[in-house]
Amino acid sequence: MNTKQTILKTAISTIKLESKAIENLSELLTNDFADAVELIYNSKGRVIITGIGKSAIIANKIVATLNSTGTPAVFMHAADAIHGDLGLILEDDVVICISKSGNTPEIKVLVPLIKNANNKMIAITGNIESFLGQQADYILNAYVAQEACPNNLAPTTSTTAQLVMGDALAVCLLELKGFSSKDFAKYHPGGALGKRLYLRVNDLSSQNQKPQVGLETSLKEVIVEISEKMLGVTAVLENEQIVGIITDGDLRRMLSKSDDITGLKAKDIMSLNPRRISEEAMAVDAKEVMEAYGISQLLVEHDGKYSGVVHLHDLIKEGII
């Protein structure tokens, strides 16, 4: 068997093993999971998530997911907690401890301290009979039969299970809160993801020039308008209403077909019923229209009147495409 085949075989085996373990998690869910979700939902405090080693890394990711979906969360490293960081935990906070074995030395020291402070504690563990499992108020069973590591040592399947359990918590809380795409945009204002959720057509078109001509505008003036406004297009207006559009493509086609262009006006070469979009529409909607009709510009309207142009390049620049 060659090296590539061996690599692919190992990869497939890993994926199948971990997917089977994830599927098995649904069989391990109990009322503790629902109770834990309701506890966090009704809490006046934050969610403090702690762990050590690879579980600490998973804890960080779950914290990020909760924060981004409207549930305030803070990471606390289990080792640092017993050296001063325990002060992170406030009276109304809910603590989630993540540990595969549930019996690591740091967890054994930390758990009684949390209990003494009367904070409710949720365990995500692969061993419900462990010290952590016995001490927790609620247990989320993340048991896995085998690590993907061929030595059954390196945390692989187990950390995937922890991660999935955290995602399940976050999604349940998201639904209970009625967390919408608008809420998501509020927590993700940066980057392409956020822009897809909050950026409107007017945010883009208002930065562009506003090419426009009338029905009786001469061909020369049309060419100058398209050239000067640098959007490859101009709207044709009558009483501030869009009646047509002329693109640089229209000009090229007209020049290739006509030997005599003397006396031609905008109304003679414009395309009727151009695609248009409201300036209040989302920028991502403009993207979908452009893709659907294979065009690179859209005329923009406000209250039925022409207000500008949004170009494919605007969407690319902002990361929408």
Annotated binding site: 77
Q: Can you say which residues are annotated as belonging to the binding site for Zn(2+)?
A: 77
**Tokens read off for 99:** 């540990």
Residue holding tokens 């945390």?
155
DSSP secondary structure, 133-159, as one string:
HHH-SEEEE---S--SSTTS-SSSHHH
Pairing of strands 305-311, 297-302: antiparallel
Q: From edge to edge, which strands make up the β-sheet containing 305-311?
A: 276-278, 297-302, 305-311
DSSP reduced 3-state for 217: coil
Distance (Å, whole) CA 248 – CA 265: 15
84 backbone dihedrals φ, ψ, rounded to 5°: 125, -30
DSSP reduced 3-state for 156: coil
Radius of gyration of the chain from its Cα atoms, rounded to whole angstroms: 30
**Tokens read off for 204:** 């883009």
